[in-house]
Amino acid sequence: MRWELDPSPSLWKVFLAYSLFVALALLLLGLLFLLYGVSPLKAYGLLLSPLGDSLGLAEVGRRTIPLLLIGAGLALAFRVGFFNIGAEGQLLMGAVGGAYVALFLPPGPWTLPLMFLLGGGLGAVWSGLAAWLRVRFGANEILTTLMQNYLVYYLVVYLVAGPWKGQMVFGFLYTDRFPPEAQLPRLGDTLVHWPTLLLGIAAALGLQLLLFRTPLGFEWRILGENPQAARYLGLKGGRLILLAALLSGFLAGLAGVGEVAGIHLRLLEPAQISLGYGFTAILVAWLARGRPLWVLFTAPLLGLILAGGDALKLALSMPFRVVDVVAGLLLLSLIGAEALSQRRLIWRR
Amino acid sequence: MLKLENITKRFGPVVANHRVSLEVARGEVLALLGENGAGKTTLVSILYGLYAPDEGRILLEGKEVRIPSPKAAQRLGIALVPQHPELIEAHTVAENLALGLDLPLAFSRRALVRRLAALLEGHPLGVDLEAPVARLSAGEKQRVELLRALLNRPRVLVLDEPTSVLTPKEVEGLFQEIRRLKALGLAVIFISHKLEEVLAIADRIAVLRAGEKVGEVWCQEADKDLLVRLMVGRSLAPPPKVPPPRKEVVLEVEDLLVPRHGFPVQGVSFALRAGEVLGIAGVAGSGQAELVQALAGLRPHQGRVRFLGKPWPRDPMSLFRQGVAHIPEERSMGVVGGMSVAENLALRTYPRFVRRGLLDYRAMEMEAGGLIQRYGIRTPSPRTPVRFLSGGNVQKVILARELQGGARLLLAMHPTYGLDVGATEEVHGRILELVQGGAAVLLVSEDLDEILALSHRVAALYHGRFVGPVPREEADRERLGRMMTEGRV
């Protein structure tokens, strides 16, 4: 008995491998719930409960919005070979940019567009810095973008505790509430700030088109899959990477604006603004396999896990970070399934 | 000694080996001849425990054996010298050899060298045990692989395309070594697709085609024609003659200097006329890659280069637009595996297919269809990802793309490396067609026969120094070999 590479696995085998591994992940998760003293079935029910009612769906929707925007950008960046781990920081930069416009510029109909522009722009500057460091000096962007996260994190802490601290918030660490012109409209009385949702859907569709139907996307795909070939053809690799990085940072910045202008209505402590969207979106992008369009499916999936995690926390008083366990197991199982579907077992003495 | 009976191996729908039976005796050299994709490598992998056969059995000295892993193969006394040396470059020869030994947890360097010397007694070393592998030539690295294989006192020695990285002189050395091992009673399996070598070293020749053994002959009874017929399934047309070059000078190179790691490439001066082929030989790593890269705009260089009387543009895109085609050293560099055949054919010309900002895939695929037909690229469809194509067809994709714009100059590096006889013939045909049309060709190859067959003039690189060029009529294998290894014209 031994393993061999299977160069061309059949479709049903791939399906079987994925089913097997997802089942395995659920089993492990169930075990975890059991150890925690919770009935696995009840926990699964809670995890999926947001699908059951409109309130829950709205919750999934609101979590999906930033994942959609960031995920689409990361799907592009990863495909081009720019491993942007700093979407978290770029999102916070966006929040800072949006808050600046909302708090310090005279309000008017131009406020919201300006917030998105400045927020996205700051996000782009932040990721562009890492891309420039890589192109110019060969600095590894995984490290630079990750470290940049901390810089913005403390920048935001400084702002809300210092110069931007609200006049009437007493001991709390946040700014004043944004004026009405700087607040995004929501669907009914949910927290779904639909303009940002539309931006996210547009981003997924637009990047898909850009990547697969335009000359720029053609060059991006060459560079991402075979940098050697890109060099051989004389493509401007540095410019292409910079552009992809700027776009992904811009979209993360938009997501940051959406969070502060659509949900919190003020700039507050960084951990409360982002909830780890920048990292969760890495999963979204990874699952989308470098296809921005697929983010339209994978972002709601992770959105559901996040919302379901909330339900678990509320109903069973489990720590919210259980969602990381769920997402992590899901990712592991998918990686395992992929490996399995490309191998086969030979039964022979 | 070793006997394979009715070995069959399938990969999904592909049958890599179909009922192949082989036998090799003590003190015998069995050559396994076949084109790329004929199933040689699969058979070796089975023998060395990398794959399990689906059917058939393996007998060693009359007893049936199972070989579940390379370790088991070594225990049974089967040793493999891989096609490309798999050594750890940063470590010394002795340390690399030690990998093949069962060693105690801690040992001194001197003890190791002593032990190796004892184990290799009777085998001329030919290399310095204390030298780091990175400093060895390709031939010396292979020597180390061979010594490593001999450490375990094998009974069967398998050599997988051992001459592909060697100079003619090194090949002769290897053959002497094989004859010596043969005299010591080893059974040797020698895998190759080069006819001359097989005829020079083998006792018996088994020919594989499309996974099946199509013939087995004693060396005395074999000749080239017979082997080609067996291998390809038909006779080959004699190579077409190259017409004499024209007057017009296409490429002028004066005192080109290309800095690189080690000796720079220097003293490169030549003029290339329309319809002329200049062949450049050299031991791997002598600067051929850097020379071509410099001319292709991929590497900075000094000196004067003029193309059709104008200064040489220095970036690959303008070069292509002005009619310079480039077949890169590595086939993998010239295509993007996950992209379709049509897209790969358009890697240079995609801006032509832009309509209102978007790529017109229909037009791209139409054009690809034409190229696929004209160049005989075997692919299920223009939309098939290139990585599903065979090496020969990938090379045809590169050729088709590079030559479609009516190239005036072709920089061809190893254009037929790893291709089978049929595909090589086709690629050579394309190059000659181009030459007849008045283009100039700079041909860099490790295959001296290829250089001698196609070139009007030949040159060599020796430690980065340009040697020659000399007219083809005044060069033969021996002289070319001297140019490459001694740097003398």
Of B333, B337, B354, the CB nearest to A215: B354
Domains of chain B with CATH codes: 2-232 (3.40.50.300), 249-323+406-486 (3.40.50.300)
The rounded distance, in Å, linking the Cα atoms of A301 and A278 is 15
Contacts of A229 in chain B (CB under 8 A): 332-336, 347
Q: What is the pLDDT of residue B336?
A: 94
Answer yes or no: are the C-beta atoms of B420 and B37 closer than 8 Å.
yes
Cis peptide bond upstream of B328, omega within 30: no
- Are β-strands B14-24 and B187-192 bridged in parallel, bridged antiparallel, or unpaired? unpaired
Q: What is the pLDDT of residue A88?
A: 95
Measured CA to CA in angstroms, residue A349 lies from A125, B5, B55, B70, B442 at distances of 61, 17, 12, 17, 54
Contacts of B298 in chain A (CB under 8 A): 231-232
Closest CA to B188 of B203, B173, B200: B203
- Determine the distance in angstroms separating the CA of B158 from the nearest CA of chain A, rounded to an integer: 22
A339 touches chain B (CB under 8 A): no
Interface size A-B, in CB pairs within 8 Å, comes to 71
Contacts of B362 in chain A (CB under 8 A): none
Strands (E), B128-264: 156-160, 187-192, 204-209, 212-218, 249-258
A349 touches chain B (CB under 8 A): yes
Closest CA to A80 of A226, A295, A278, A229: A226
Strands (E), B395-437: 409-413
Answer yes or no: are the C-beta atoms of A37 and B42 closer than 8 Å.
no
A228 touches chain B (CB under 8 A): yes
The rounded distance, in Å, linking the Cα atoms of B87 and B103 is 18
| CB pair distance less than 8 Å for B297 and A234 | yes
Closest CA to B443 of B295, B302, B304, B301: B295
Of A2, A6, A215, the CB nearest to B52: A2
pLDDT in tens, A105-129: 999 999 999 999 999 999 999 999 9
A34 touches chain B (CB under 8 A): no
Contacts of A213 in chain B (CB under 8 A): 358-359, 361
**Most B CBs within 10 Å: which of A4, A233, A289, A291, as the mutation test of the B interface?**
A233
* Alpha helices per DSSP H over B17-137: 40-47, 70-76, 93-98, 109-119
| CB pair distance less than 8 Å for A226 and B12 | no
Residue of B nearest to A212 (CA): B359
- All residue ranges of chain B with pLDDT < 70 are 12-14, 36-37, 100, 125-126, 165, 234-240
Contacts of B68 in chain A (CB under 8 A): 2
Contacts of A6 in chain B (CB under 8 A): 11-12
Answer yes or no: are the C-beta atoms of B205 and B219 closer than 8 Å.
yes
Structure tokens at B2: 């070793």
| CB pair distance less than 8 Å for A2 and B68 | yes
Closest CA to B276 of B472, B435, B474: B435
Most confidently modeled range among A32-41, A70-79, B46-55, B451-460: A70-79
Chain A residues 186-225 with a CB less than 8 Å from chain B: 209, 213-215, 218, 221-222, 225
Structure tokens at B143: 């020597």
Residue of B nearest to A229 (CA): B333
- Determine the distance in angstroms separating the CA of A220 from the nearest CA of chain B, rounded to an integer: 12
Structure tokens at B415: 């254009």
3-state secondary structure of A318: coil
Residue of B nearest to A235 (CA): B317
Residue of B nearest to A228 (CA): B333
Say how far residue A304 (Cα) sits from the centre of its chain.
13
Contacts of B354 in chain A (CB under 8 A): 214-215
Residue of A nearest to B12 (CA): A8
| CB pair distance less than 8 Å for B316 and A7 | no
Contacts of A221 in chain B (CB under 8 A): 336, 338-339
Scored b (16 or more CB within 10 A) or e, B117-134 reads: eebbeeeeeebebeeebe
Structure tokens at A260: 């502060």
Closest CA to B477 of B449, B436, B445, B454: B449
DSSP label of A265: S
The residues near A114 (Cβ < 8 Å, ≥ 6 apart) are A101, A105
Name the residue with higher pLDDT: A7 or A76.
A76
Contacts of B296 in chain A (CB under 8 A): 232
Q: What is the pLDDT of residue B13?
A: 67
The rounded distance, in Å, linking the Cα atoms of B137 and B127 is 10
Phi, then psi, of A347 in degrees rounded to 5:
-95, 110
A321 touches chain B (CB under 8 A): no
pLDDT in tens, A176-199: 899 999 999 998 888 999 999 999
| CB pair distance less than 8 Å for B339 and A222 | yes
Of A209, A215, A228, the CB nearest to B350: A215
pLDDT in tens, A284-333: 998 888 899 999 999 999 899 888 888 888 888 878 777 778 878 887 88
Residue of A nearest to B334 (CA): A229
Q: How confident is the model at residue A347 (pLDDT cuts 50, 70, 90)?
A: low
Of B11, B51, B334, the CB nearest to A7: B11
DSSP label of B120: T
How high is the ipTM of this complex?
A: 0.84
Contacts of A225 in chain B (CB under 8 A): 336-339
Name the residue with higher pLDDT: A96 or B429.
A96
Answer yes or no: are the C-beta atoms of B152 and B74 closer than 8 Å.
yes
Answer yes or no: are the C-beta atoms of B232 and B38 closer than 8 Å.
no
The residues near B2 (Cβ < 8 Å, ≥ 6 apart) are B22, B23, B24, B58, B59, B60, B78, B155, B156, B187, B189
Phi, then psi, of B160 in degrees rounded to 5:
-95, 110
- Find the Cα–Cα–Cα–Cα dihedral B254, B259, B263, B267, rounded to 10°: 0
The rounded distance, in Å, linking the Cα atoms of B262 and B134 is 13
Residues shown for chain B: 489
- Determine the distance in angstroms separating the CA of A186 from the nearest CA of chain B, rounded to an integer: 35
Q: Where are the domains of chain A?
A: 67-299
DSSP label of B489: -
| CB pair distance less than 8 Å for B333 and A228 | yes
| CB pair distance less than 8 Å for B333 and A221 | no
Of A218, A228, A231, the CB nearest to B350: A218
The residues with which B9 forms a beta bridge, in sequence order, are B17
Q: What is the pLDDT of residue A98?
A: 96
Contacts of A8 in chain B (CB under 8 A): 11-13
Q: What is the pLDDT of residue A349?
A: 43
Q: What is the pLDDT of residue A222?
A: 96
Look-up of token digits 């695929």: B365
- Given 3-state DSSP classes, what are the helix, strand and coil percentages for chain B, each rounded to the nearest 5? 35, 25, 35
| CB pair distance less than 8 Å for A214 and B359 | yes
Give the DSSP H/E element, type plus range, for residue A295. helix A295-316
End-to-end CA gap in chain B = 48
Residue A68 has pLDDT above 50, yes or no: yes
Contacts of A220 in chain B (CB under 8 A): none
Answer yes or no: are the C-beta atoms of B19 and B174 closer than 8 Å.
no
Q: How confident is the model at residue A242 (pLDDT cuts 50, 70, 90)?
A: very high
**Most B CBs within 10 Å: which of A11, A232, A348, A349, as the mutation test of the B interface?**
A232
- Per the rule left: phi > 0, alpha: psi between -120 and 50, beta: everything else, B79 is beta
Contacts of B334 in chain A (CB under 8 A): 229, 232
Structure tokens at B287: 């600067």
Answer yes or no: are the C-beta atoms of B86 and B146 closer than 8 Å.
no
A233 touches chain B (CB under 8 A): yes
**Most B CBs within 10 Å: which of A3, A12, A80, A218, as the mutation test of the B interface?**
A218
Q: What's the maximum distance between 2 C-alpha atoms anywhere in chain B?
A: 74
Residue A2 has pLDDT above 80, yes or no: no
The rounded distance, in Å, linking the Cα atoms of A278 and A259 is 12
Q: What is the pLDDT of residue A348?
A: 53
| CB pair distance less than 8 Å for B332 and A6 | no
